[in-house]
A and B are shown apart, each in its own frame.
Chain A
Amino acid sequence: MNDPATFLHAMRFLGAGLAMIGAIGAGAGIGIVSGGAVQAMGRNPDATPTIQTNMILGIAFAEAVAIYCLAVALIIVFAA
């Protein structure tokens, strides 16, 4: 606490860690998407290619949120 530079350094890492909390949502979202896709594929195996394509797209969109968190965390650690 006596050294402002070290304190700032520590707070940057803390902030980056806090920013990555947003990845929780993406994790839950990806789980829900793939769970639904697996159920759909189980009910209708013939539709697997279509479902798989849409599942990967859905996962990509859900993951984008986590990627934003990662970008913020990287900016905090390296750029700010």
Chain B
Amino acid sequence: MTETTPTRRFGFKRWIVIALILLGIYFGFIAGGIFKPVAPGVVLPGEPIWPGLSWLTNTLLATLLADVVLLWLGWSTISFMRSGKLVPSGVYHIVELLVEFLWNTAESTAGKWARRLLPVFATIFLLVLVANLIRLVPGFESIGYLQSPEAGSSVKGYPIVQILPGVYALDGSQAGQEVPAGTAEPQGLCTTCTLVPFLRGSATDLNFTFALAIVAVLAVEYFGFRALGLGYLTKFFNFGTMINKPVFGVIDAGVGLLELVSEISKIISFAFRLFGNIFAGTLLLAILGALTVAIVPSFLYVLELFVGVIQAYVFGMLTLVFISQAVVGHGGDHDEHAEAPAAH
């Protein structure tokens, strides 16, 4: 019944998108040559961003970039607060949205501890979120220097072509060649190259995820000791109940030792969960991007956006939940809890 304003059925932007898709199909399947994506080499450790610069890996550079983005977010918030304006504008919207979401999550999970736990939770969440999102920016994992692959490794090299003076690309129309063992080429331009990107997703490096996981688990222990004092140790070395309840006390002690093991496995599961998801996503994007040039990678990028946000949420949320479990003590029985440290 209401008057609807006629909308333009075919806007300008969708023609750009369709043209890009058609260009992708043309270059990928018909024209071939340098625009055809090359099948990626799977490299587990972070690679140096320049030959010989082994202390600065591309994953570390991506993490620093994520830090810069976070600092920029924080700084723009501070400058907005100082300006005294009441109407939020620009990037402050995003920060407000994030902080409100983080606070609600922390409060609903941690209750009265929310004020003290929010910094830990929010730091982990924001760092992982930004690191996971900026790795999807075009240019990550596709711009870098060319290097001859290690002799004997399964990584395949591609012939190079010059597209502009000083700018080279890999020729994807030629099948990748395995480099036979013992033919490492001398310094200079190689004829069969692999690409070493300047930037690679931070979470595709186990150093990043393990560092975060260790920090998270140390935070769990810290808050546990802070809330319960030395009584926190009775969660692991629970020999107190063995005196008044001999049979179940032994079981309790065994369960306590299992808790100790699970505390260590928390680090591994934290680290490998984030690493596995992001690394598998990177592989999926790279391999399916090389197989299907157009359309399919777009949907995979949407999936990767989703996975990045969910993994950041899961990492922060699990930290929060583990800390909230650590601060309430075991059993929940207050009489037993008051007695246990004395018996210890």
Is A18 an interface residue, CB under 8 A from the partner? no
Q: Is the interface of B mostly helix, strand, loop or mixed?
A: helix
A64: chain B residues within 8 A (beta carbon): 269, 272-273
Find out whether the CB atom of A57 lies under 8 angstroms from the CB atom of B276.
Answer: no
Is B280 an interface residue, CB under 8 A from the partner? yes
Distance to closest chain B CB from A71 (angstroms): 5
Find out whether the CB atom of A60 lies under 8 angstroms from the CB atom of B44.
Answer: no
Give the A-B pair count, Cβ closer than 8 A: 42
Find out whether the CB atom of B318 lies under 8 angstroms from the CB atom of A60.
Answer: yes
Find out whether the CB atom of B276 lies under 8 angstroms from the CB atom of A70.
Answer: yes
CA of A67 to CA of B280, assembled, Å: 10
Distance to closest chain A CB from B261 (angstroms): 14
Q: Mark B287-326, 1 if CB is under 8 A from A, else 0.
A: 0000000000000000000000010011001100100000
Find out whether the CB atom of B273 lies under 8 angstroms from the CB atom of A63.
Answer: yes
Find out whether the CB atom of A60 lies under 8 angstroms from the CB atom of B108.
Answer: no
Distance to closest chain B CB from A57 (angstroms): 6
Q: A67-B269, A70-B272, A71-B276 are in contact. Are A53 and B108 (CB under 8 A)?
A: yes
CA of A53 to CA of B280, assembled, Å: 24
Is B109 an interface residue, CB under 8 A from the partner? yes
Q: Is the interface of A mostly helix, strand, loop or mixed?
A: helix
Find out whether the CB atom of B276 lies under 8 angstroms from the CB atom of A67.
Answer: yes
Q: A64-B273, A68-B272, A70-B280 are in contact. Are A49 and B108 (CB under 8 A)?
A: yes
Q: Mark A53-71, 1 if CB is under 8 A from B, else 0.
A: 1001100100110111011
Distance to closest chain B CB from A53 (angstroms): 7
| Minimum CB distance partner of A66 in chain B | B276
- Residue of A56, A63, A66, A68 near B317 (CB, 8 A) is A56
CA of A49 to CA of B280, assembled, Å: 29
Interface residues of A in 3-60 (CB under 8 A from B): 49-50, 53, 56-57, 60
A66: chain B residues within 8 A (beta carbon): 276
CA of A79 to CA of B44, assembled, Å: 9
Find out whether the CB atom of A56 lies under 8 angstroms from the CB atom of B109.
Answer: no
Known contacts A64-B272, A71-B268, A78-B42; can you find 17 more A-B pairs with CB under 8 A? A50-B108, A53-B108, A53-B109, A56-B310, A57-B314, A57-B317, A57-B318, A60-B317, A64-B269, A67-B269, A67-B272, A67-B273, A68-B272, A70-B276, A71-B272, A71-B276, A79-B44
